[in-house]
A and B are shown apart, each in its own frame.
Chain A
């Protein structure tokens, strides 16, 4: 395999993995705080359409990405108010958020169908991307680097910072955390807000970087894959990074194999593989760690302040 091909493959892997990583890290923090938000796909679509609309209107892609984060974070607040303040069921509310995001993004996006947008360039000077190996290091969209930095930041936050410790405590035992005096609802509000912003940013990665356009259901179900990856990663940022890139690698290698003329698998089996693997990982870690699976103990449960 020649170097150019190898670099091209790895670049594609990074491109495919990055939005899943960013949205997944957001959802990971949400779930670590004890909340399950199934609205990732809806928030990604809201982010994708808002990012596209703002970028085409202003001509500045960065503004688009920021607006995408803001709009999706706003949408996540609908979810937060319902499940935290009004203690609504998280599964149902998350599903409703996805349905909402799908519909609203289609309505907002109608005038933006059929046009393209200014996109993010690379951040490094052209000279640094001249050779294949340099391109592999410096030739990516800024969001690819952001994804890597975010992984480190989230890992540090959860494992090393005091705030992260509180967040995990809230996710493991909300009543105990409350008894100690931690603001359970505030922590969860902030976590959901962060998750929303990251989902929005991931959505804008599709409409501004990977496929600079808007069309209904642009993200084609990637939000659900991000949720699956959080579980696959057993709620650890490092494994989230590995999982997202592994997923990107599998997808890319499948396409590469087909392009090279190898069609050895039933494509359906390959498409089902990430989900089967996630179930297998869940089963294995649950078996190894009877009863826990590293899942935050309060995941999905509402919190009532009065104990």
Chain B
């Protein structure tokens, strides 16, 4: 049955970009109040990925007031521990449970089968069920904005990229960053350093220093700690925040940040439950739906750069800009995507190759 789900996702993604409805409505009547629970993989104090989800939870509380009651469990290990927590939340009278990390996918699916009357939503995965939706954010749209800024502001024409693990989402981000940077500076090169960890401040800082000593003057990251920003601040180069506005850590270096703004999606889901028309969806939202935002641009950014960055944001929102539009060459210089073609979502979601200009 996983097979069908995968195919369904691929087929759905190929034909219909954002929203594909899966399965049948599980619950018809509306509610006066919804109990929503969140499961986080890290501590809410990580100031990164889990922190951003928790800000989404707070946004939900603020928007819907006494129509919603929320709770969360943090530091949940992916695997049987997650399954236990999710089940406990389902038994605890929650109407909807949001499981916010990829590794929660199979545990969520198991519990969802046992609790047909509870709604489940899993972030960044690819499996769904009759009462389990999937949601994800087009983080790469933000990477394109960062790449544009990097391409315009880098004098060296070299950006450093501190990456965690080579999973499709990270690969996609590196490619989007590089494509956007090369659109404004065709000679731009992205130097990637894998630190093999989502969170290791000391190693992330050292990786930034290694990149800086190799001559890059822009630091970008796909790891969770603000340490690379601090290293950039110290070296007097520019950098970008991850998951949240991290300008407090590096007021000079922090040009902007990709802000994971999950709140609107959470509000949307809970509103649907309140109205009684919740259905599991498989959505991949982005800037258009306001779940991805850019942090305020740094005043130190030149006006033309601000304008170019804002243009990417505006055109992405308008649907007229898509960074993964051909011609795109791979690292060997072979054309992978023809002029004017777009990479289908299904291919993006399992991306494992790098575009020209990525040095990894």
Mark A residues whose CB is within 8 Å of B.
Answer: 4-5, 8-9, 11-12, 15-16, 106, 109-110, 113-116, 206, 210-213, 215-220, 222, 251-252, 255-256, 258-261, 263, 267-268, 271
Contact = CB atoms under 8 A, between A and B. Distances in A.
A217 B225 CA distance: 11
A267 B193 CA distance: 11
A16 B196 contact: no
Assign chain B's interface to a size class.
Answer: 35 or more
Contacts of A116: 230, 248-249
B46 to A, nearest CB: 6
Given A8-B212, A106-B45, A113-B51, 13 more contacts: A5-B214, A8-B213, A9-B210, A9-B213, A12-B213, A15-B206, A211-B202, A212-B230, A213-B227, A215-B47, A216-B43, A220-B199, A260-B214
A271 B194 CA distance: 12
Given A9-B213, A15-B206, A256-B210, A211 B230 contact: yes
Contacts of A219: 202
5 contacts: A109-B45, A213-B201, A213-B227, A255-B210, A258-B193
Interface of B: 43, 45-47, 51, 160, 191-197, 199-207, 209-214, 216, 225-227, 230, 248-249, 359-360
Contact of B205 (A110, A115, A211): A211
A215 B45 contact: yes
A115 B201 contact: no
A5 B213 contact: yes
Given A106-B43, A106-B45, A215-B46, A259 B191 contact: yes
Contacts of B204: 211
Nearest to A7: B213
A174 to B, nearest CB: 37
A261 B201 contact: no
Contacts of B43: 106, 216
Contact of A252 (B46, B51, B210, B226): B210
Contacts of A206: 201-202
Contacts of B45: 106, 109-110, 113, 215-216
A159 B111 CA distance: 62
A256 B214 contact: yes
A4 to B, nearest CB: 7
Contact of B47 (A114, A251, A258): A114
Nearest to A6: B213
A12 B206 contact: yes
A115 B251 CA distance: 12
A66 to B, nearest CB: 22
Among all A-B residue pairs, the 10 with the closest Cβ atoms: A8-B213, A255-B210, A211-B201, A211-B227, A113-B45, A258-B193, A259-B214, A220-B200, A261-B359, A259-B210
Contact of B211 (A113, A211, A217, A259): A259
Contacts of B200: 220
A113 to B, nearest CB: 4
Given A110-B45, A213-B249, A216-B46, A267 B196 contact: yes
B197 A252 contact: no
A213 B226 contact: yes
Contact of B248 (A15, A114, A217): A114
Contacts of B197: 220
B330 to A, nearest CB: 16
Contacts of B191: 259-261
A222 B211 contact: no
Nearest to A271: B196
A267 B195 CA distance: 9
Contacts of B205: 210-211
A35 to B, nearest CB: 27
Contact of B160 (A8, A106, A259, A271): A259
A7 to B, nearest CB: 9
Contacts of A110: 45
Nearest to A110: B45
Contacts of B201: 206, 210-211, 213, 215, 218, 220
